[in-house]
């Protein structure tokens, strides 16, 4: 028996009707997404500059892109953005899942603990960055005091002043703020795994690790991958926490690609080449996401 | 319906009679405090009941980009902006600031310090009124110096090194010197002070010259102090406020900082070393200079997009007037020469005023090129690479000079 189909006459009638109904949304999207995007693409092929307000920018072809792609400083900042994304999203994933598993266990005060979980995530980035700047302060910061008191180190370190350390310390500050999102998504997914399945598996002799690997992980994999994509996009374009904590220093070691875009457009007033840098960033992040989606689909099929 | 109409007409008539509201942009740190600026502004509003001024404060580091983005956004921007001595060329070239040359009375020319006028000048025109006349001074802790057996503060950088080493050797403080060497404009200000002491220059004959002579010696001096362990290594992530905290905590014998630190470091509420703070011009170099200083002044100007230029100018004249500046001379010294002999200004800060007499006369300006932000960024990175030991001072400055030769 074939599935009931929509009568032909109704279907041909509904398509032309849906178009005018969609029109407001299409117009809205064209204004808030389409126009800025096209404008950025146009600007990236010109020598537009905030220096020359009111004058028509000249067409320079792919010049801005050639400059961007051959600029070793930009390569370095792209690398910093990539490192930042991989490190922070990786840590957020591990920490988020661990905390979610913990909060999924029944214990006294669980509701309060779950409510507290969201707190770091709710703090504005600027406040979080300022707070961590204080914690990392080489002379009066809590981190140095803590490490010295528990005897882990004898000397105070300049956490944001050492080239090898600074970016990692910013990553940690970012992880603290953003792991709750991963934890929340995981926690919601965990609620959908019936306890009976775990009990049955335990009766069959499956250990905690096996149960996590075979039962829990498949159940949360879908929601987790959404969290990973969301966080990767955000982490790759990181700007605000860097701006507040290090301004790209020491010696450019925490300068990210977004920082270059900002500097080019607003500090140097070069709107054209700023747009080109921004578009290169968009392309790289689109590639990252495409690669990730491809990988996860292949894994799903296997 | 009737009440609605009445309400609307009331609203409209009150809007017509409403006073002009000026939007003014200031910075959060150094020089005058936010409270001072609010008080000065309220005083202006009482004498000009038809003008209201709404104030906005941003960190210094955000000031330039705020002015630029407001200017490119068009008319609905600011009416009065605070700007740094390094921006007039760029702003004038891009038409961001109103030329106010004709508005300034000729009688002011001789009354205001020449260094202050430099803050607003580009291409022979003036783009505002100087407001903060500032340079970096050498602050020292009198108690620590006398414990180390020194009766007078150093007059040369070499002497300063000798004193600092002696202080360190006696264990009076771990790091006698503290600076603002974070990757920011503050680093350029410290470097410029030293460059002026060693007789260097940024450009010569249109070509970068800071990678040789005095410019190179200045950076070598900076890296030397780190190597000898007399400069606090954390200086490399510090801004001016961090320097003030370390010095006020008694953890440094010497610090380079702006005028505002004098009052705050001597305020028992803010400082553990109140009463022991001495101030002198930044030292010189034997046979080259008697003292060193850089021009860190700032001024108030009118963005070209402002719709209330006359009211804005009246407000600027009030803020920069001699009586107002003398009343609030604790955190920022006046631009007016004759103020420096007035008790209102000198009381409680004779040391600072004495130092100012020398320093304000020898202030070295930073380069006045339209692409200064690019030059500053390149220099900041280069200086940090040398300070972190990633490059030798010569390599670092050569790299920056290569970038600088493409800028104008």
CA distance A247 to B342: 42
CB contact under 8 A, B237 and A139: no
Give the chain A residue nearest B64 (alpha carbons).
A267
Interface mutation vs chain A, best among B73, B95, B234, most A CBs within 10 Å:
B234
Residue with tokens 């260094």: B115
At A153-208, the pLDDT tens digits run 888 899 999 999 999 999 999 999 999 999 999 999 998 888 888 888 888 888 88
Q: Which of B68, B234, B381 lies closest to A269 in CB terms?
A: B68
The values of phi and psi at residue B140, to 5°, are -140, 155
**Rounded mean pLDDT of A268-277?**
93
CB A227 within 8 A of CB A181: yes
End-to-end CA distance of chain B: 64
CA distance B376 to B373: 5
Report chain A's C-alpha Rg in angstroms: 25
- Element at A90 (helix H, strand E): helix A72-103
Asked if residue B11 has pLDDT above 50, the reply is: no
User: Three-class SS of residue B370?
Assistant: coil
pLDDT band at B317 (very low <50, low <70, confident <90, very high): very high
Lowest mean pLDDT among A42-56, B167-181, B187-201, B234-248: A42-56
Q: C-alpha angle with apex A80: A34 to B398, nearest 5 degrees? A: 110
Q: Which of B234, B373, B381 lies closest to A268 in CB terms?
A: B373
CB A219 within 8 A of CB A189: yes
At B210-251, the pLDDT tens digits run 999 999 999 999 999 999 999 999 999 999 999 999 999 999
What ipTM was assigned to the predicted interfaces of this complex? 0.83
CB contact under 8 A, A247 and B95: no
Q: Report the pLDDT value the prediction gives residue B13, as an integer from 0 to 100.
A: 45
- Element at A293 (helix H, strand E): helix A271-301
Q: Report the pLDDT value the prediction gives residue A13, as an integer from 0 to 100.
A: 52
Q: Would residue B213 be called left, alpha or beta, if left means φ above 0 and alpha means ψ between -120 and 50 degrees?
A: left
Asked if residue A134 has pLDDT above 50, the reply is: yes
Chain A: closest CA distance from residue B96 (Å): 9
Q: Which of B131, B128, B105 is nearest to B319 (CA)?
A: B131
**Rounded mean pLDDT of B83-103?**
93
End-to-end CA distance of chain A: 32
CB B87 within 8 A of CB B296: no
H, E, C per residue of B278-333 = EEEEEEEECCCEEEEEECCCEEEECECCCCCHHHHHHHHHHHCCHHHHHHCCCCCC
**Rounded mean pLDDT of B128-135?**
96
pLDDT band at A301 (very low <50, low <70, confident <90, very high): low
Q: Report the pLDDT value the prediction gives residue A14, as an integer from 0 to 100.
A: 57
User: Three-class SS of residue B347?
Assistant: coil
Give the chain A residue nearest B382 (alpha carbons).
A251
pLDDT band at B161 (very low <50, low <70, confident <90, very high): very high
Q: Kindly list the residues from chain A whose CB atom is less than 8 angstroms away from the CB atom of residue B243.
A: none
**Rounded mean pLDDT of A25-33?**
91
Asked if residue B16 has pLDDT above 70, the reply is: no
Asked if residue A12 has pLDDT above 60, the reply is: no
Q: Report the pLDDT value the prediction gives residue A114, as an integer from 0 to 100.
A: 87
DSSP state of A263: I
Q: Report the pLDDT value the prediction gives residue B10, as an integer from 0 to 100.
A: 45
The verdict on B246 touching A (C-beta cutoff 8 Å) is yes
pLDDT band at A1 (very low <50, low <70, confident <90, very high): very low
CA distance B290 to B252: 24
Chain B: closest CA distance from residue A251 (Å): 5
CA distance B252 to B249: 8
Neighbours of A75 (CB within 10 A): 13
């Amino acid at each position: 028996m074939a599935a009931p189909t929509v009568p032909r006459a109704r279907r041909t009638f509904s398509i032309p009707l849906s178009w005018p109904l969609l029109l407001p949304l299409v117009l809205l999207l064209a204004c808030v997404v389409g126009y800025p995007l096209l404008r950025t693409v146009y600007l990236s092929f010109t020598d537009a500059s905030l220096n020359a307000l009111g004058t028509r920018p000249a067409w320079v072809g792919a010049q801005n892109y050639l400059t961007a792609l051959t600029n070793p400083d930009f390569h370095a900042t792209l690398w910093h953005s990539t490192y930042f994304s991989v490190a922070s999203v990786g840590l957020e994933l591990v920490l988020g899942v661990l905390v979610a598993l913990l909060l999924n266990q029944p214990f006294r005060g669980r509701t309060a603990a779950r409510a507290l979980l969201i707190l770091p995530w709710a703090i504005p980035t600027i406040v979080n960055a300022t707070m961590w700047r204080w914690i990392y302060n080489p002379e009066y910061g809590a981190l140095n005091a803590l490490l010295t008191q528990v005897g882990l180190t004898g000397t105070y370190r300049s956490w944001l002043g050492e080239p090898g350390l600074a970016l990692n310390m910013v990553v940690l500050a970012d992880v603290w703020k953003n792991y709750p999102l991963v934890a929340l998504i995981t926690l919601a997914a965990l609620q959908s795994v019936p306890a009976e399945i775990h009990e049955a598996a335990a009766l069959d002799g499956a250990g905690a690790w096996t149960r996590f690997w075979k039962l829990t992980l498949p159940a949360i994999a879908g929601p987790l991958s959404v969290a990973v994509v969301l966080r990767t996009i955000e982490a790759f374009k990181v700007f605000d926490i860097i701006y507040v904590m290090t301004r790209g220093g020491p010696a450019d070691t925490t300068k990210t690609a977004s920082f270059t875009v900002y500097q080019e457009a607003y500090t140097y007033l070069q709107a054209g080449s700023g747009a080109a840098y921004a578009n290169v960033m968009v392309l790289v992040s689109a590639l990252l996401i495409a690669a990730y989606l491809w990988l996860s689909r292949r894994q799903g099929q296997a | 319906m009737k009440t609605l109409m009445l309400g609307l007409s009331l609203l409209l008539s009150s809007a017509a009679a409403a006073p002009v509201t000026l939007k003014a942009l200031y910075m959060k740190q150094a020089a005058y405090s936010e409270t001072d600026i609010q008080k000065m502004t309220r005083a202006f509003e009482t004498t000009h009941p038809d003008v209201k001024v709404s104030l906005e404060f941003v960190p210094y580091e955000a000031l330039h980009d705020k002015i630029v983005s407001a200017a490119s956004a068009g008319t609905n921007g600011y009416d009065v902006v605070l700007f740094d001595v390094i921006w007039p060329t760029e702003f004038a070239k891009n038409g961001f600031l109103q030329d106010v040359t004709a508005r300034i009375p000729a009688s002011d020319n001789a009354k205001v310090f020449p260094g202050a006028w430099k803050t607003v000048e580009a291409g022979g025109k003036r783009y505002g009124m100087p407001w903060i006349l500032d340079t970096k001074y050498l602050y020292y802790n009198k108690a620590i110096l006398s414990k180390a057996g020194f009766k007078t503060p150093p007059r040369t950088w070499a002497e300063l090194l000798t004193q600092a080493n002696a202080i360190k050797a006696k264990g009076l403080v771990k790091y006698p010197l503290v600076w603002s060497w974070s990757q920011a404009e503050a680093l350029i200000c410290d470097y410029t002070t030293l460059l002026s002491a060693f007789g260097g220059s940024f450009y010569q004959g249109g070509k970068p010259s800071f990678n040789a002579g005095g410019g190179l010696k200045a950076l070598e001096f900076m890296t030397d102090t780190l190597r000898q362990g007399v400069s606090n290594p954390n200086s490399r992530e510090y801004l001016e406020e961090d320097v003030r905290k370390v010095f006020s905590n008694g953890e440094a014998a010497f610090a380079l900082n702006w005028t505002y630190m004098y009052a705050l470091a001597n305020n028992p509420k803010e400082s553990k070393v109140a009463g022991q703070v001495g101030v002198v011009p930044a030292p010189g170099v034997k046979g080259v200079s008697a003292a060193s200083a850089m021009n860190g002044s700032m001024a108030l100007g009118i963005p070209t997009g402002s719709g209330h230029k006359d009211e804005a100018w009246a407000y600027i004249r009030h803020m920069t007037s001699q009586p107002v500046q003398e009343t609030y001379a604790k955190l920022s010294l006046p631009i007016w020469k004759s103020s420096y002999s007035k008790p209102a200004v000198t009381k409680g800060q004779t040391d600072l005023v004495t130092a100012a007499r020398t320093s304000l006369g020898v202030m070295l300006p930073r380069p006045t090129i339209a692409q200064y932000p690019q030059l500053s960024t390149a220099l900041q990175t280069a200086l940090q690479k040398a300070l972190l030991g990633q490059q030798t001072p010569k390599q670092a400055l050569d790299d920056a000079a290569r970038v600088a030769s493409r800028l104008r």
